[in-house]
Amino acid sequence: MTAKSPHAKLRIGIIGSGGIAGAHIQAYKQMEDVEIVGVADIVPGRAAEFNARHELKGAQAFDDHRELLRMDLDGVSICTPNVAHYETTIDALRAGKQVLLEKPMSVTLEQSIEMVNTAKETGNMLTIGFQPRYDPNMKKMNEIIQSGL
C-alpha cells in the first residue's frame, strides 16, 4: 500500500473474517506482490478457520485486532461489521497502518469525520472499498443510460 515498503511483498492483515473478507482474499491472491500475514476476528477460532479455509499458510490468527496491528504490516483490510468500522480504523491508523475499509465508512457522520481527521493527522492512507462501477449490473445500467433509452 506504500511504495516505500522495505519488504519484497506488501504485508497485509485482514480485520474481520466474515463474507466480504473472502472477496478481499480472492483479490489479494491475484496480486503477486501481496502476502496476507495475519487475520483477526473477535470470534475465538474464526480467524484460524478462515486462514485454513483460504489456505493462508503462515498467516497468523488473532482474536483481537490490536494484536494483529502490532505486526509489521504495510496495511490492513477492514472487513468487520459496520458498527466496528470506526474503532478498528482508528486503531489501525494510530498503529501506523494504511487502511482499506469496507463500505459503509461508519455508522455516523461524526465517526467518519474523525476517521478522516485521524488519517490526516497520522499521514496514513484511508480508502473506502466502494467500487460498484465494476459490477456487471452497474456496467449494464451505465450502458443503458448512455444510450438514451
Give the model confidence (pLDDT) of 104-148 as tens digits.
Answer: 999 999 999 999 999 999 999 999 987 676 778 888 888 899 998
- Percent of residues, the chain, with pLDDT higher than 70: 93
pTM for this entry? 0.84
**Of 7, 9, 63, which is closest to residue 36 (Cα–Cα)?**
9
Among the residues of the chain, which ranges form H helices?
Answer: 19-29, 46-53, 65-68, 85-94, 109-122, 136-147
Taking residues 94-107, report their average pLDDT: 95
pLDDT of 8 reads 86
pLDDT of 100: 96
129 closest CA partner among 5, 47, 16: 16
Task: Name the grid cell of 133.
Answer: 462501477
pLDDT at site 6: 67
DSSP letter, residue 63:
S
**What pLDDT, on a 0 to 100 scale, did the predictor assign at position 129?**
86
Judge whether residue 2 has pLDDT over 70. Answer: no
